[in-house]
Structure 1
């Protein structure tokens, strides 16, 4: 007789054990359940069941970590606006070909895998996970991840090629993000590369400190 062993409830990322699961949060008397979802603990990054609830005209997300307790955050400040936005929610058929395999659960296996439903509308291009800030809620910067992620220009070129080859429809808008993308010395060259590839809409997700240190950089990026 073959005995099936229980699946391990953790996986490793950069040598760190990330655990899965926890108690499902309770809906309180003054609240209305909106939907079930999942989230992570901001302390240990455990993947947790979570709920969205409506209370006092706003939407909140709640999760409970077995080790660090309950967390609740404002998810959407206006519940009516949330419902209006959700009317545009569409589950598509995904894209072909997937960019990565689902080796670990979201958000630790970044990339467009077979679990993605929709085609790319705005591509998030992570150019570094280095950052000059220390935001408590961020799980992606290098100190917390345990390693530096910083693709070369050649690798970025291939990423954009993948986006432009997506079927049934490819994206043509890119948000450069991180970490803090302005920590890269070649950030202007990255913008120029995107322009050469034919990307027509480019966003830069930054906290802007580098613009105070290098005010000319804003002009160079605008003209790239």
Structure 2
């Protein structure tokens, strides 16, 4: 493992670069402690000044800085000789980091129509769905990264489990040497135990399960339908696949006034399971 201590300036106050939220132009910014909160302040010559909370707890920010490490970049980036950041974006030769976990959207289609959707799925007015060969090229490109081939991939969407060749791309990811393969899912397809077992058989490691809380009223408001029985069944199925369980990560969307009181309950459920 290659670890490099971060070269970024530590402590407060400090100066950095940011972007204007209106036009995207690079502007100078100052990060500082104000009454125990970390603030960021910047000014655009065209759109004026902006000030916002950077971290809500200055003490925790300074503590977290002690664990800051740089990545090692990529020796063979797709975008080279980049001069304008954040435009012409991509994994370029200005990046200090390398890809640890890559997300690949298999589709923007979904088998639900949630009132609150992280991915704005099924609302774009068009279908995005790369074919199998395109997904394989994405996977191969990630594994070609040097000096560190991307070790982990998460299939997402939309709802990735409805992708026509879902099991094929999971199997291909395993064949290419990804040591951690994940799927971000609402869980509807995983109610079928055979589906879970087939995922495991093809190389799936982790289910990144949308999980908003432990009562159905939350799901009615956030997802448009009762879902708690689905979540419980998915957790059970993931536990019972062979030869060993699928790791399960509970992924809540915290909505003020709907489920912000469920954070502790979700943590307790995770501990018990």
Task: Flag whether TM exceeds 0.5 (same fold).
Answer: yes
| Aligned 1:71-220 pairs, distance under 5 A | 80=60, 84-92=63-71, 94-99=73-78, 111-114=90-93, 116-131=95-110, 132-134=112-114, 136=116, 138-139=118-119, 141-144=121-124, 146-212=125-191, 214-220=192-198
- Cα offsets for 1:144-176 (capped at 9, x unmatched): 4x4322221111111122111112222221111
Q: Cα distance, 1:208 vs. partner?
A: 0.9
Task: Find the counterpart in structure 2 of residue 73 from structure 1.
Answer: none
CA–CA distance in structure 2, aligned partners of residues 216 and 111 of structure 1: 38
Match of 1:54 in 2: 56
Conserved 8 A contact 1:36-1:52: no
Q: 1:197 to 1:51 in 2, by over 3 A?
A: same
- The unaligned stretches of length 5 or more in structure 2 are 1-20, 43-49, 203-273
Q: Secondary structure at the match of 1:124?
A: strand
The equivalent residue for 1:32 is 37
Q: CA deviation at 1:129?
A: 2.1
Distance in 2, Cα, partners of 1:135 & 1:99: 37
Aligned length: 169
Cα gap change, 1:29 to 1:158, in 2 (>3 Å): closer
What is the rounded CA distance, in whole Å, between the counterparts of 1:190 and 1:148 in structure 2? 19
User: Do the aligned partners of 2:40 and 2:51 also contact (CA within 8 Å) in 1?
Assistant: no
Report the aligned-residue RMSD: 4.0
**Preserved contact between residue 31 and residue 53 of structure 1 (Cα < 8 Å):** no
For 2:70 and 2:195, the matched residues in 1 are separated by 40
C-alpha distance in structure 2 between counterparts of 1:137 and 1:36, whole Å: 31
What's the CA shift for 1:109?
A: 7.8
Give the drift of 1:116.
Answer: 3.5
Instruction: Supply the distance in 1 between the matched residues of 2:23 and 2:160 (Cα, whole angstroms).
Output: 31
Q: After TM superposition, what 4+ stretches of structure 1 lie above 6 angstroms from structure 2?
A: none
For the residues of structure 2 that align with 1:201 and 1:95, how far apart are their CA atoms? 20
The residue number in structure 2 matching 1:62 is none
TM-score normalised to structure 2 length:
0.49
Shift of 1:179: 2.0
* Maintained 8 Å contact 1:142/1:149: no
| Bigger fraction of residues in helix | 2
CA shift in 2, pair 1:177/1:114, >3 Å = farther
